[in-house]
Amino acid sequence: MADDNGEPAEDLVPAVLDAVAFHIQPYRGRNDQSVHDNVKYIIDRYGDHGAFYKYTSSTGKSLPLFYIYDSYLTPPESWSEFLAPTGSHSVRGSAYDSVFIALIVEERHKHDILAGGFDGMYTYFASNGFSFGSSHQNWKAIKAFCDGNNLLFIPSVGPGYIDTSIRPWNNHNTRNRVNGRYYETALQAALNVRPEIVTITSFNEWHEGTQIERAVPKKTVTRVYLDYQPHGADHYLELTRRWAEQFNKEKEQWLM
């Protein structure tokens, strides 16, 4: 299915199944039941694919992982019908049981996420300070809340942010890349709270200026694209690899 900004992605899925977790966007009529139907469809169709991402928890159970964007649009009472073990159409313990990650935007959302029966929360936005959840200074407190309630905390990091080509009024949320330093500051902030998982916003979301894929200088009549000069086209992929290696190394130490 597609939201208002995109095309249906069904035909693309087989092409990108290299290591995929699904990010479920809001769409008209999305609720706990429709997401249940979506999850059932996705697992029935792609669950046996070798690249379908499964998260292995501390109990050793390996389950699919789903990110639910703008999860706060549906009340926790509705989510719990789907995500709590006692819910009217609970997925728990079934063939469709998964790890469900909700979006924390405002501080109060952490209580709703817990009440809704989610397994954790992520912060998504690449602009430090844009929301409570995306502010690096709040990550320690959110992680402590998650640890105390047996939830995963998944901080989201980005290389910078600029969306004024599509939201001309949003200049105050622009974050300069500072040749990679903004990205590294975010990655360090994420690693400081010892998370299980870190997500990156984004690989190729050019219209919000958060892409890390290879980029060369380019301009059209209407637009100048961001490039990574004076660094090379691979600069952010190289930084990502370096920090991923660092993350794995540190994780081993935390577990010792």
Q: Does domain 10-255 have CATH number 1.20.120.350?
A: no
- Residue extents of the structural domains in the chain: 10-255
Total-model pTM: 0.91
Distance CA(139)–CA(157), nearest Å, equals 12
Cis peptide preceding 64, ω within 30 of 0: no
Beta strand segments in 51-138, E: 54-56, 62-68, 99-103, 120-122
Please tell me the predicted confidence (pLDDT) of residue 6: 75
Cis peptide preceding 202, ω within 30 of 0: yes
| Across 171-191, average pLDDT | 97
Neighbours of 196 (CB within 10 A): 14
Q: Kindly indicate the confidence band of residue 222, based on its pLDDT and cuts at 50, 70 and 90.
A: confident
Q: Kindly indicate the confidence band of residue 51, based on its pLDDT and cuts at 50, 70 and 90.
A: confident
Which residues are paired to 120 by β-bridges? 101, 152
Distance CA(68)–CA(72), nearest Å, equals 9
Distance CA(255)–CA(98), nearest Å, equals 24
Residues ≥6 apart with Cβ < 8 Å to 103: 67, 68, 69, 70, 71, 72, 109, 121, 122, 123, 124, 133
Which of residues 39 and 224 earns the better pLDDT score? 39
CA 9 to mean position of chain CA atoms: 18
Three-class SS state of 33: helix
Closest listed residue to residue 132, CA positions, set 104, 160, 154: 104
Task: Give backbone dihedrals phi and psi of 144, rounded to 5 degrees, phi first.
Answer: -65, -40
Q: Percent of the chain scored above 90 by pLDDT? A: 83
